[in-house]
Structure 1
Amino acid sequence: MSLGTAPFLRASHWLRRPVAVALASGCVALVLSGLAVLFTSSIREQALSHHHADLAMQATLLALYVRDVPAEERPAALRRFHGALGEHADTVLGLLDGQGHVIAQYPDRPPLQGLAAALADRDHAGTTRVDPGHLGDEVERLAAHAYMPVTAGAMAASGPPGMAVVAVPEIEVSGATRRDQLIVIAAAVALAVIIGILGGLLARKARAAQEAAEQLGRREVELRQLFDHATEGIYRSALNGRILRASPAMARMHGYDDESHMMALRDTDRRPWFIDPERARVFFETLLRDGVVRGFESEVCRRHTGERFWAMENAWLVRDAEGNPTFFEGTVQDVTERRTVETNLRRAQADAEQSSRTKSSFLANMSHELRTPLNAIIGFSEVLEAGIAGPLTPRQAEYVGDVLTSGRHLLEVINDILDLSKIEAGHLDLAEQHLDLEELLEDCTAMLQPLAARKGIAVVTPHQGDPTQAGPSLLADQHRLRQMLLNLLSNAIKFTDPGGRVTLGWHRRGDGGLSLAVSDTGQGMSAEEVEVALIPFRQVDAALSRRHEGTGLGLPLVKILVERHGGTLEIESVKDRGTCVTLNFPAWRSQPDKAA
């Protein structure tokens, strides 16, 4: 938790319980309201006492005023006296007899009638009639019993006997006092409720603020942990490049022990960050123009040790409220190892490409150097075998036949190697044309028929000679397609025992494409052996390689050539039962059958 939030949380600890706050607020409000009631009652009692004194003075003066006034003129005298009261004009003046009957009053208002009713109730209860000389005191006692602030003055002895002069306030002061007290209490209760509600809301807000502060503190701790344990360097820098903050990884990247060590020496170690000043210029121009720099790789310098290394930097510009740049922040990753690996890979690739070019150049030169004498050997052997130069003895004919066979085999090996090198170098071009498939299949079987006949193997073409099964036209390179079929047929004859059968045919697939298949009843292969057979210069079995001639380039070349035609190669083989190799060509290379 940050130091800035701790005092607030300690000060608001008591606000964590909204119910307690509400009850405490209500109690405080009730105490204040009670004090207000007591204070109001005291003031009202003092005011009432002064008012009673005023009423007594009025009654005394009125008694003197009406003492010598005849009975029939006394109502008019009350009216004149009332008009002379001025600011006390809210007083009701009256004359009552010993039974409490109102003889005369002015003005005619309810307060005096309430006093008369109280006197009448006294008589009905059998109360002894009061001495006329003390009638004023009895009136005051009854008025107080009736909760009416009445002050009476006794009449002079020379006046009519058994009468009292009464002055009654038009507003019932004591009743008003109680109402005021009730109003104050009600207001105090309402104030207590309002204070309680406000206290509860305040407590809730304080609790929410506390939770927000705690969450902020947790996030601060989490961010600090991320900052301290990040493997990449994290920094904040002034626009002039002076480091303001640095993570531990960033400090170590510059050769310092920690951030404090770096801050202490940042003005002493003035080595530039970028080795190349041009990279520094590009970095700051991009940052000020775009506000962000991503994946910026440069050779940089550790400011404390001066060691060079490669770094990838991401940075972003921070602006103030007016949009002015204030500083920038970023991350730095040491990519020296990756750069070294990439450099080595590029060097290895360059070496490999150079080796490939050297090999291609060697093979191109060797193709001429080998083919020229080899063609001469083959040509002269064919002349001798044909007897053009004269007849040969049986032993000589045998030797010439061996030389011719070996020369042709060596020429095939050289051609396969050259073809593979061309394909690897990307120099193999296809001379495509529409071919008569039936005619091409017939030529291929005819070329290998003598070899199959010597081994006692039958070569079958199911569609040959059937006019209803005339072959379609295929768009392909004639030389490469013949090369593929001859490779497959020669392999089938090579690995099929005498008495076996080799089949060459075609069929149209459901998607409209065309497939050519070569199958045999030979030795077959397992799934693992099929994978080995597709690797250049690899053969399935060393024993077979000794029994049969070959370089292990036949199937790999066929696979590459059919894929260059946009097709695929499929091999289905069962050990000791035979193999079927299928060349699948896309539909756009095949035209409708000629019979159609």
Structure 2
Amino acid sequence: MAALPLNTSACVTLSVVSDDPLCAEQLLSFLTDPAISVSNAIVTETGMLPSLSVQSDVVLLIVNSPDIAPVIAGIKTAKVLRGTLKILVLDRSPTVERAVEFMKCGVSDYTEFHEDKAGEHAVRVEQACLDILFDIPEPAVLRGSNKPPEILSLHRKVQKVVRAAKELSSCRTLQAVCERLLETVGDALGATGGSLYLQDGNILRRAHTLDPGHAPEILELPLPTGSLFEQVYSSKEPLIISESSELPGEYSSGWQGYQGESVLVYPLVERSGELIGLFSLHGKKRDIFTKDDRDLVLILAAYSLETIRALLVQERLQEAFNSLSMTFENMSEGIILLDEERRIVQCNQNVARILRLSEDELASGTSIVELCSSLYARGDSTEKANGENPWDAAAGDFSYEHYCNDGAVIRFSGKLLENGANVLTISDITAQKNWETELCLAKDKAEAANASKTNFLANISHELRTPLNAIIGFSEMMRSEVYGALGHEKYDEYVAYINDSGSHLLSLINNLLDLSKAEAGKFKLHKTQLNLSALVANIVAYFRHQSEMAGVALVLKGDGSQGNIEADENAVRQICYNLLSNAIKFTPRGGSVTIELTQESDGRATIAVSDTGIGMDEKSIETALQPFGQVENAFNRKYAGTGLGLPLVSSLCELHEGEFNITSRPGFGTTCIVSIPGG
């Protein structure tokens, strides 16, 4: 197993003459083509030119001396010894006169030298060297020379390969180049098998093979460690196997079953060092691969690499373009690309569909201003005054609605690009507009229904209040026996039932009316300076009898020193009534209810009502805060109520710009906290 030598019989030999070795080394570092063999030593004396003409194909002169006479003399002598010698001159102090002198003595190329353009100079030198390969003399000419027979044989192969290289440059597709390269090399070297792979992301994809059925279509990366392909892939250096005993145990199938098992694997590497692909040859007829065979591959690969690289980039760009084109054509919106003169450059197929136009009306070069004018002429309109086009005004992004004569609604959105061009997006928003209209109508209907419900509740509440007040009033008089005894003890019991039921129903109606007003935004607060401590103490006294009857301890905390707050007295009274009523109702006998008053330094007052009752979970709290929300269902209810108390408390707190929070735990009780601003 051998690696590629630095100097081969098939390479172009380059010698460098310069009085500045460091400068020459910098330039030579850019010469990476393997078909060029650079002399190991950089000659600093121009007197060595005659001797270099014998061993070199190309001589590069980097001239710095103002006196060029010795250099000219050396060039003339070298050209006499070898007329085909190609001499390149890079001059640090170029003049017209110096250029004429150099060209007169047979210099092939004369260029001004710049150290910061070493890469460009290297490309020029490299091309001149590779051109030598196309000037290889025919074998008939070589027979009269003193070349050894093996060199004559090699030149015949080189001639064949170089001719093939010329044909490679005419290939227009990547597949054609890969096929031609592999088949030409295989034919020139007598190989019966071989495969060429190109890297495609995390795989090597087979581009061509000389023996279908042997080489797999895809090789997964990373390749098996120690395989021939892995060695070449990692080192980026060609390998040649002359005997089967040298084959590693695992070598990426593709050449098994051939006599001799001689294998040649060659990498295709970019100038940057990135590997493009690799190819292998095997099954050579009646022989094994030699170093000269490898050198021939080197020549053809050097010429085909640029073509492969260019076509590979072209193919990838074409794939990307096709992908973008497919996306462009299949977008749900219409897209128009406009140049800086507002003319159509390109548009997708949806533009014609959305605007109800023919493709001819959207032809490239059509003015978008004229196009919109024609739309207005057919009866279309726009939300912009007088059909004004946004591109007639100041430059910038824009968006507006366009109304077609058939009722369709279209949104035009323009994006200004840095070069002055525009990307115009056209969207059919007819369905969206219809949906918005239906939504608005549904909203209006819902609001009207809600208002009707609120008015009904308010009216019916007023209608019920009058007879209820009469029932309660007369029952109260009968209960007090204002005009004498009723005559039977049962009458006293019935009158008490009538009075309690009427009072309960009146309380329900009042809550319902207040909640309806609050939800409709018609509840008017009448704020006054309110002594909260006195108000709460009065309410606690009112509920004292009820709590004693329920067997629940009622505790008031607060020293009475709280200041006044600005609030609606009836609303605050209603809040406290509902909270205490609920707390007593949902606390079992033997429990307790505590109401505590606090006031912050900014005047904000807090009323906290805590009980040791049944408690609620998070879901139950959400239910209790909804109007008519009942934590228990209608079949297993143990506690009477309408579910209006807590929603009304929440609404009255919001009217005061306050806060209402509930914390509760099933089996441990509930705490309701009302916070009201001080003023």
TM-score w.r.t. the length of structure 1 is: 0.58
Q: Give, in whole Å, the separation in 2 of the partners of 1:412 and 1:444.
A: 16
Identity %: 32
Identify the match of residue 427 of structure 2 among 327, 333, 338: 333
Instruction: Identify which of 553, 561, 570 aligns with 2:661.
Output: 570
Q: How far did residue 297 of structure 1 move? A: 1.6
- Match 1:342 to one of 428, 432, 436: 436
Specify the SS of the correspondent of 1:272. Answer: helix
Does 2:303 align with 1:200?
no
CA–CA separation in structure 2 for the residues paired with 1:546 and 1:183 = 116
Q: Does 1:534 align with 2:625?
A: yes
Residue aligned with 2:587, SS: coil
RMSD: 4.9
Larger Rg: 1
The structure-2 alpha-carbon separation of the partners of 1:541 and 1:290, relative to structure 1 and needing over 3 Å to count, comes to same
| Pairing of 1:90-105 with structure 2 (within 5 A) | none
2:477 aligns with 383
Read off the aligned partner of 1:523 and give its amino acid letter.
I
Partners of 2:565 and 2:383 in 1: how far apart?
A: 59
Q: Of residues 388, 391, 409 in structure 2, which corresponds to 1:310? A: 409
2:347 maps to 246
Could you list the per-position Cα deviations for residues 329-364 of structure 1 after superposition, in whole angstroms to 9, with x for gaps in the alignment?
511011122112111110011101211221232223
1:423 aligns with 2:518: yes
Q: Give the structure 2 partner of residue 407 of structure 1.
A: 502
**For the Cα contact (< 8 Å) 1:488–1:581, is it kept in 2?**
yes
Please state whether the residue corresponding to 1:424 is helix, strand or coil. helix
Cα shift at 1:219: 7.3
After superposition, residues 6-17 of structure 1 pair within 5 angstroms as none
Aligned partner letter, 2:411 = M
The code of the aligned residue for 1:384 comes to M
Q: SS in structure 2 opposite 1:395?
A: helix
Unaligned runs of 5+ in 2: 1-29, 39-55, 62-70, 82-100, 128-270, 273-305
Work out whether residues 313 and 331 of structure 1, in 8 Å CA contact, stay in contact via their aligned partners in 2: yes
**1:458 counterpart = 2:553:** yes
CA 1:199–1:390: 2 relative to 1, 3 Å: same
Higher helix share: 1
**C-alpha separation between the residues in 1 aligned to 2:354 and 2:588?**
72
Match of 1:550 in 2: 641
What does 1:24-39 align with in structure 2 at a 5 Å threshold? Answer: 37=76
Change (3 A) 1:581 1:204: farther
Contact 2:103 2:110 survives alignment (8 Å): no
Contact 2:382/2:402, CA 8 A, preserved across alignment: no
1:288–1:317 Cα contact (<8 Å) kept: no
- Evaluate the alpha carbon distance shift between residue 343 and residue 225 of structure 1 in structure 2; reply closer, same or farther with a 3 A threshold: same
Residues 217-366 of structure 1: matches in 2 within 5 Å?
224-235=325-336, 245-254=346-355, 272=375, 275-277=379-381, 279=383, 282-292=386-396, 294-300=398-404, 308-315=407-414, 330-366=424-460
Note the alpha carbon deviations across 1:79-107, whole angstroms, 9 max, x for none. Answer: xxxxxxxxxxxxxxxxxxxxxxxxxxxxx
Distance 1:330 1:543, change over 3 A: closer
The 3 A distance-change label for structure 1 pair 383 and 253 is same
Q: 1:202 to 1:508 in 2, by over 3 A?
A: farther
AA of the residue aligned to 1:314? S
Offset, 1:260: 7.4
CA shift in 2, pair 1:491/1:188, >3 Å: same
**Alpha-carbon shift at residue 523 of structure 1 (Å):** 2.4
> Relative contact order (C-alpha < 8 Å, sep 6+): which is higher?
1
Secondary structure of 1:519's counterpart equals strand
Matched position secondary structure for 2:425: strand
SS at match of 2:557: coil
User: Are 1:502 and 1:520, in contact at CA under 8 Å, matched by a contact in 2?
Assistant: yes
Match of 2:657, SS? coil
1:224-261 superposed Cα distances (whole Å, 9 cap, x missing partner): 3443233210125799999764202223334689x579
Of 359, 363, 369, 2:463 maps to: 369
Going from structure 1 to structure 2, the CA distance change for 1:227 and 1:282 (only over 3 Å counts) comes to: farther
User: Structure 1 residues 384, 241: closer, same or farther in 2, change over 3 A?
Assistant: farther
| Structure 1 unmatched runs, 5+ | 1-16, 43-181, 302-306, 590-596
In structure 2, relative to structure 1, the CA distance for the partners of 1:500 and 1:21 (3 Å cut) is closer
Kept in 2, the 8 Å contact 1:502–1:519? The answer is: yes
Give the number of aligned pairs: 416
Deviations 1:383-407 (A, max 9, x none): 2222123322322222222121111
What SS does structure 1 have at the residue aligned with 2:594?
Answer: strand
Displacement, 1:486? 0.7
CA contact (8 A) 1:233 1:249 kept: yes
1:287, 1:293 within 8 Å by CA — same for their partners in 2? no
Distance 1:482 1:204, change over 3 A: farther
Give the superposition deviation at 1:460.
2.0
